[in-house]
Amino acid sequence: MKLRELYELAVKKGIEFDPRGPAGVKKTLDKAKKEYRKLSKKDKVLFDKEMFVNPYSDTRMLYGDPAKEIKSIMVGIDMEVGELLLADRLNAKKRRIDLVMAHHPEGMALAGLYQVMHIHTDLLNKAGLSLKAAESLMKERIDEVERALLPANHSRAVDVARLLDMPFMCCHTPGDNCVTTYLTKLMKKKRPGTAGEVVDILKAVPEYRDASLEKAGPLLICGERKNKPGKIFVDMTGGTEGSKNIFARLSQAGIGTLICMHLSEEHFKRAKAEFINVIIAGHIASDTLGLNLLLDEIEKKEKLEIIGCSGFKRIKR
């Protein structure tokens, strides 16, 4: 499989598993085309035209010949300077590595992370909030993340990949879409009767079971095991945490249980005040599950050698 094919297949599968559905994805792609048409000729040169076909600004080929044949990939959650040097070292020791694939974004994909946060808006709307309320709640948070990313050294790892001549890509939201859709369907199928049963269902998933053995598994941080779950909202895509002001609205919409990867202390306090059960499934475990689901789809086309590191362990289904 060529690098370009692998990248395009990852995006395609991310779209297929996007919890917003085809209409939500089309809206994002159409918005990019509309924005481009409004630009001056000078500004059009600077526009990221990949956004016409890829709705996920945090997923990109960062370095490498798109025509390069890929047979082995080193995959990890955070693949930065150290991991790229490790890949180069393993190649020197005759352990073939054709591509380094990160889950968390680097380079221009990190700089553009805030753009995928509009997914939160659509999911909040789908959960029962009015579109106007969802947009209003998310705008402040999206602007906050954009400002926070401005001073980052985005190209640090990409520069190392270039100097090592190591193909490098990141695949963030497609993996997060996979885990969000998977867990949403799992909860609908299992129909847990208590918050504790939600945790038990998660712990039966191999990635979460392994994380539990490492003391990093699913944990009910707000509420009690005996609590009724109510409507369960899986919040695991959209770049990063949403607005800290959403919890009152979620409660009003009937959401009784929130399953997420992580939650800041301020978010936790707001959720607790609304008596919402909050389950931290685990950040790295959830990212690993999403990547495994995505790789399962990719390997339906062609088998690849996957070398896991940086928190990632390959588990096939």
Answer whether residue 236 is part of any domain: yes
Predicted structure pTM score? 0.94
Residue 168 sits in the same domain as residue 213:
no
Give the pLDDT score at 9: 98
Q: How many domains does the chain have?
A: 2
Residue 238 sits in the same domain as residue 109:
no
Q: Can you tell me the distance from the alpha carbon of 311 to that of 294, in angstroms, rounded to the nearest whole number?
A: 16
Q: Can you tell me the distance from the alpha carbon of 82 to that of 304, in angstroms, rounded to the nearest whole number?
A: 23
- CATH code of the domain in which 182 resides: 3.40.1390.30
Burial (0-12, 13-18, 19+ Cβ within 10 Å), 281: buried
Residue 61 sits in the same domain as residue 88:
yes
Cβ distance 21 to 13 under 8 Å?
no
Residue 246 sits in the same domain as residue 293:
no
* Residue found by looking up tokens 């945790």 in the block: 199
Residue 88 sits in the same domain as residue 222:
no
Residue 248 sits in the same domain as residue 296:
no
Answer whether residue 248 is part of any domain: yes
Give the pLDDT score at 245: 86
Residues found in the chain? 317
Answer whether residue 138 is part of any domain: yes
Could you give the angle at the alpha carbon of 146 between the alpha carbons of 21 and 276, nearest 5°?
Answer: 60
Q: Can you tell me the distance from the alpha carbon of 246 to that of 248, in angstroms, rounded to the nearest whole number?
A: 6
Q: Can you tell me the distance from the alpha carbon of 176 to that of 293, in angstroms, rounded to the nearest whole number?
A: 10
Residue 95 sits in the same domain as residue 196:
no
Residue 150 sits in the same domain as residue 191:
no
Q: What is the pLDDT along the chain (317 residues), one digit of tens a residue?
A: 999 999 999 999 999 999 999 999 999 999 999 999 999 999 999 999 999 999 999 999 999 999 999 999 999 999 999 999 999 999 999 999 999 999 999 999 999 999 999 999 999 998 888 899 999 989 999 999 999 999 999 999 999 999 999 999 999 999 999 999 999 999 999 999 999 999 999 999 999 999 999 999 999 999 999 999 999 999 999 888 888 888 988 998 899 999 999 988 998 998 899 999 999 999 999 999 999 999 999 999 999 999 999 999 999 99
Range of the domain at 158: 3-175+287-309
Could you give the angle at the alpha carbon of 217 between the alpha carbons of 204 and 141, nearest 5°?
Answer: 115
Residue 182 sits in the same domain as residue 301:
no
Cβ distance 4 to 66 under 8 Å?
yes
**Bridge partner residues of 74 (DSSP):** 100, 307
Answer whether residue 78 is part of any domain: yes
Could you give the angle at the alpha carbon of 46 between the alpha carbons of 40 and 49, nearest 5°?
Answer: 100
Report residue 67 CA to chain centroid gap.
Answer: 26
Answer whether residue 316 is part of any domain: no
Residue 109 sits in the same domain as residue 64:
yes
